[in-house]
Amino acid sequence: MPFQDILDRHEDIRKTEYHHEILVKGSDFQACKKKVLLFFEKYQLVRYSYIAILENKSLSAADSGFEDRLNEAILKNRQIVNDLIEKLQAEEIKTLNDLKALPHGYKSKMLHVITHFLDGFFGIDTYFYSLEDDSHWVTEESLEKINASPSDYWLLSLEAKI
pLDDT in tens, 26-74: 999 999 999 999 999 999 889 999 999 999 999 999 999 999 999 999 9
**Sequence-ordered list of residues with C-beta below 8 angstroms from that of 96, at least 6 positions apart, any chain:** none
- pLDDT higher for 41 or 13? 41
Residue 21 pairs in a beta bridge with 128, 157
Q: How far apart are the first and last CA of the chain?
A: 27
pTM: 0.86
Q: Per-residue pLDDT for 128 more than 60?
A: yes
The predicted pLDDT at position 14 comes to 61
The fraction of the chain above a pLDDT of 90, given in percent, is 64
